[in-house]
Amino acid sequence: MDLSNLKPAKGSVKRKKRIARGIGSGKGRTAARGHKGQKSRSGYSRRFGFEGGQMPIHRRLPKFGFKNINRIEYKAVNIDVLEKLAKDKSLTSIDVQTLRDAGFIQKNDLVKILGNGELTVKIDVKAHAFSKSATEAIEKVGGTVEKIQN
């Protein structure tokens, strides 16, 4: 075997359909486009969402709701996550960078600490926002809470 006698596997290569090359080809006349109609014409391209002239769904359905442009989106982190992180890495203080390094938040996320779970380790926490229950739970075990400016 050498480069001069290499061939693809049998049945792996199909011949190209030769469309619109005369009646004898079997794909002549209508050129595999069916008969008449908009889709058979050259230059046809249907725009996105076009339903053949029927009122499209994005226009049939009403608009609703609104997006508050002043909303501040926080990434929620519960105190049970802080507990696990503090025990695993034996930390006494946790800030945004620590959470970022541990993979809990992305680069530009704002963090809000929520009070779900139980805290037994004394830790000092720095974040952008805290819920009341989280603040109480952290201070109950002797930790401190510090808010960072956005």
pLDDT in tens, 72-110: 999 999 999 999 999 998 889 999 999 999 999 999 999
Q: Map out the domains of the chain with their CATH numbers.
A: 74-147 (3.100.10.10)
Q: Which of 99, 57, 59 is nearest to 76 (CA)?
A: 99
Q: Which amino acid is at 135?
A: T
Task: Cite the beta strand spans of 1-150 per DSSP E.
Answer: 74-78, 93-94, 110-114, 124-127, 129-130, 144-147
CB-based burial label for 138 (10 Å; 0-12, 13-18, 19+): buried
Q: Would you write out the chain's pLDDT as a tens digit for each of its 150 residues?
A: 799 999 999 999 999 999 999 999 999 999 999 999 988 999 999 999 999 899 999 999 999 999 999 999 999 999 999 999 999 988 899 999 999 999 999 999 999 999 999 999 999 999 999 999 999 999 999 999 999 987
- What is the per-residue pLDDT for 1? 77
Instruction: Strand 129-130: give its sheet, edge to edge.
Output: 74-78, 110-114, 129-130
Give the DSSP letter of residue 54.
B
Rounded CA gap, 7 and 106, in Å?
51
